[in-house]
Amino acid sequence: MTLDSEITQLAGIGPAVAKKFAILGITTLAQLIDYLPRRYEDYSLLTGAGQLKPGPVTIKAKIEHLTGRYVRRGMHITEAIGRDSSGSVRLIWFNQPYRATAIKRDQAYYVSGVYELSHQRFGIMNPSLELVSDFPVNTARILPIYRETKGLTSRQIRAALSQAVPLMAALPETLPAWLVQDQKLLSRASALRAMHFPESSRQLAGAQARLGFEEVFGLALASLLNKRANQHEHALSIPFDEHLARTFVKHLPFQLTDAQRQVIWQIYQDLQKPQPMNRLVEGDVGSGKTVVATMAALMALQQGWQVAFMAPTELLARQHAATVYDLLKPLGLETTVDLLVGSLKPAQKARARAAIASGQAQFIVGTQALIQEKVDLPKLALVVIDEQHRFGVDQRKALQIKAGHMPHVLSLTATPIPRSLALTLYGELDISVLGVKPPGRPPIITEIVSPNSRPQVYAAITQQLAAGRQLFVVCPLISESDTLTVRSAELVYEEMSQKDFKNWRIGLLHGKLKPDAKAAVMAAFVRHELDILVSTTVVEVGVDVPNATVMLLEGAERFGLAQIHQLRGRVGRASHQGYCYLLLSDSKAPSRRLRAVESSNDGFKLAELDLELRGPGAIYGSLQHGQLDLRVAKLSDVKLIASARSAAQDFLDKSENLVHYHELAAQVARLRTVTNLN
């Protein structure tokens, strides 16, 4: 047998069983060996039959007094006694009548199972049995538990893997020998065998460390290669005009924070280089990212070049266009601003495209429509991406073709990124942090509220509405659910409209509405034609309604920590005090994440906790764990990530050639399309 052999080469796997393995993506022995356990149960500690305590146990015993009988409703019970020198224990199997004939008397067995109380008597329920040997597969060891499918159990998977053990020893190494030695890693062959058949918890930890390192090493290497490739591209060198920058700042209706000044200076230094900038500015909600982006655009506009500002929705694009227009007006540059979004009438689109193609429109704000084929951007120098988590290599290449050179790229995000993600997924980006909000914005007061306190919360909300403020109500569901007890957006809208808030103007917004209807509702709320907006999480990103002061989250326990922080950032965006009420759907004690968001407004601190509790998908939005192929490593393991990142840099510094490492090369090629939000 070889690694490429069909799984049917193994004993006990015929066509029917092979079909079940195929459901799990396993058709060859290589795929079987690469199918890693999802967790482990420890049955490695042998205990005397007369010394057992409740919980998972393993004994080495002979089996006596086997009996079997049928009881009510056709259930079969097999009972026996397991005996060793220390005493005996009752063994019970349910609906396994074959046990009575399969067990050999006067033979020593390993018996593993849960020792527990059943019908006022202690015993081991449904234990696994194996004749004593030097290599037990299903007992007397740390047992791997695999993701299963109907008709295929972890026991069967382990049985198949036990036949593939000789092949595991011949697995090729995928990392350079110097790297394995420097990092004190197990060989890949040893690590995979230990993942499936660990001889101790220490050996298992070593195997997980090896495979986890390799996963993150590939991810770090992919991001560094992307960064190096970007540095080899040509971009326009945009000179810094100090007088223009000072004039812009002088006309601002507020003072820049020190953090804004520092980040702007970093961007200006990038723009002067002939290599394309690839910088991410991360700043908590309300930290002033749009002003930073507009200042970056100034220098390109001064040289007659074009800037494309892309937002994730039309509403946000219009919002940004209005903000940029106001910021540039004191300098007489407002005429350079143009808007290109899908809802424009054909004649308006044609006029906008003509102005862009001629270079008359220099600062173009829009959605992804800006990089479509019909849009000609001959003088494009800078692209600003706002919360556009999927702008990567392909999109940059599309713009490069339009302009004849690679544009500088400035990405903006209000999602605080934990350091571990910054080193891996975002590793090809230079990152700047706006850690301070502009003065005059008081921290949002956040409070966890039990269902019984709804009347008090409604009274506080009514006071805010009476003072001319506005309210967001965000629900986890659009419609009622038969299985979940949380209140839906449709139900809350109906109740508020007919009862507690019937004298106020209320709108409903959710994902099932057509785009035009969604935009109309949101625009009405922005214009204060609505006092209350009942919504799902479609309001999460970027919407700016300075007059909104209250965020009410229905069924708050259903939201993720980072998501709550993003939603909370929709209110308190002016000088008025902001409030966020986390309304629980039942009277259970609030979770750790709700307690954390109640006590802290620090988005970076909360993002680290969210990564620890829920994994990278919580922060990275639609990017799921599986796309990263992180089956072993945890992105919260900062020490591992720093080590792997350093090793990836060493790999490049040594001029290693990926061609010599086939599996690593394939992994890196795939990951290069995942990093930097592609």
φ, ψ for residue 98 (rounded to 5)? Answer: -65, -20
Question: Is residue 473's pLDDT more than 80?
Answer: yes
Give percent of the chain above pLDDT 70.
93
In the predicted model, what is the mean pLDDT of residues 499-503? Answer: 93
- Looking at every residue in the chain, the average pLDDT score rounds to 88
User: DSSP readout, 544-577?
Assistant: --TTEEEEEEETGGGS-HHHHHHHHTTS--SSSP
Where helices occur in 622-676 by DSSP H, the ranges are 625-628, 638-653, 662-671
Question: In the numeric block, which tokens belong to residue 226?
Answer: 């992307």
In this prediction, residue 622 carries a pLDDT of 41
How many angstroms separate the Cα of 639 from the Cα of each of 201, 262, 417, 633? 21, 28, 17, 11
| Alpha carbon of residue 615 to chain centroid | 6
In the predicted model, what is the mean pLDDT of residues 96-102? Answer: 89
Q: Residue 165 forms beta bridges with which residues?
A: none
How many angstroms separate the Cα of 488 from the Cα of each of 297, 473, 493, 515, 571? 43, 11, 9, 21, 21
Q: How far apart are CA 66 and CA 151, in angstroms?
A: 28
The 10s digit of each residue's pLDDT in 525-556 is 989 999 999 998 877 555 678 899 999 999 99
Reference 381, options 367, 402, 351, 365; nearest CA is 402
Reference 62, options 103, 23, 99; nearest CA is 103
Where helices occur in 251-313 by DSSP H, the ranges are 258-271, 289-302
Give the SS3 label for residue 119. Answer: coil
Q: Residue 58 forms beta bridges with which residues?
A: 46, 112
588 Cβ contact partners less than 8 Å away, ≥ 6 residues apart? 557
The 10s digit of each residue's pLDDT in 140-187 is 999 999 999 999 999 999 999 999 999 999 899 999 999 999 999 999
Q: Where are the beta strands (DSSP E) in 451-540?
A: 470-474, 506-509, 532-535
User: Residues 91, 97, 102, 106: is their CA dihedral positive or negative?
Assistant: positive
Question: In the numeric block, which tokens belong to residue 2?
Answer: 């070889």
The 10s digit of each residue's pLDDT in 593-649 is 899 989 988 877 887 787 777 665 544 444 443 455 678 888 778 888 889 999 999
Q: How far apart are CA 629 and CA 634, in angstroms?
A: 11
Under 8 Å between Cβ of 298 and 330: no
Q: Residue 110 forms beta bridges with which residues?
A: 60, 130
The 10s digit of each residue's pLDDT in 278-331 is 898 988 767 788 999 999 999 999 999 999 998 877 878 888 898 999 999 999
Give the SS3 label for residue 67. Answer: strand
The 10s digit of each residue's pLDDT in 235-249 is 999 999 999 999 999
Q: Where are the beta strands (DSSP E) in 429-570?
A: 430-434, 445-449, 470-474, 506-509, 532-535, 548-554
Q: How far apart are CA 524 and CA 457, in angstroms?
A: 25
Question: Is residue 415's pLDDT more than 80?
Answer: no
Q: Long-range CB contacts (< 8 A, 24+ apart) of 477-485? A: 477/536, 477/555, 478/510, 478/511, 478/512, 478/536, 484/558, 485/585, 485/586
Q: Count of CB atoms within 10 A of residue 639's CB? A: 8
Please give the radius of gyration of the chain, using alpha carbons only, rounded to the nearest integer. Answer: 31
CATH architecture of the domain formed by 45-140? Beta Barrel (2.40)
- Domain assignments of the chain as residue spans, ordered by start: 45-140, 242-272+288-413, 445-600
**Domains 242-272+288-413 and 445-600 belong to one CATH topology:** yes
Question: In the numeric block, which tokens belong to residue 328?
Answer: 């540039």
Q: In the CATH scheme, what is the homologous superfamily, with its name and number, of domain 242-272+288-413?
A: P-loop containing nucleotide triphosphate hydrolases (3.40.50.300)
Under 8 Å between Cβ of 305 and 362: yes
One-letter amino acid for residue 257 of the chain: T
pTM listed for this prediction: 0.75
The 10s digit of each residue's pLDDT in 15-61 is 999 999 999 999 999 999 999 999 999 999 999 999 999 999 999 99
Question: In the numeric block, which tokens belong to residue 80?
Answer: 């026996």
Under 8 Å between Cβ of 550 and 582: no
Class of domain 445-600: alpha beta
In this prediction, residue 180 carries a pLDDT of 96
Q: How confident is the model at residue 230 (pLDDT cuts 50, 70, 90)?
A: confident
Q: Count of CB atoms within 10 A of residue 200's CB? A: 12
In this prediction, residue 677 carries a pLDDT of 43
- Judged by phi (left if over 0) then psi (alpha if -120 to 50, else beta), residue 481 lies in beta
Instruction: Give the residue with greater pLDDT, 589 vs 649.
Output: 649
One-letter amino acid for residue 10 of the chain: L
Question: Is residue 71's pLDDT more than 80?
Answer: yes
In this prediction, residue 482 carries a pLDDT of 67
Under 8 Å between Cβ of 331 and 251: yes
Q: How far apart are CA 229 and CA 672, in angstroms?
A: 11
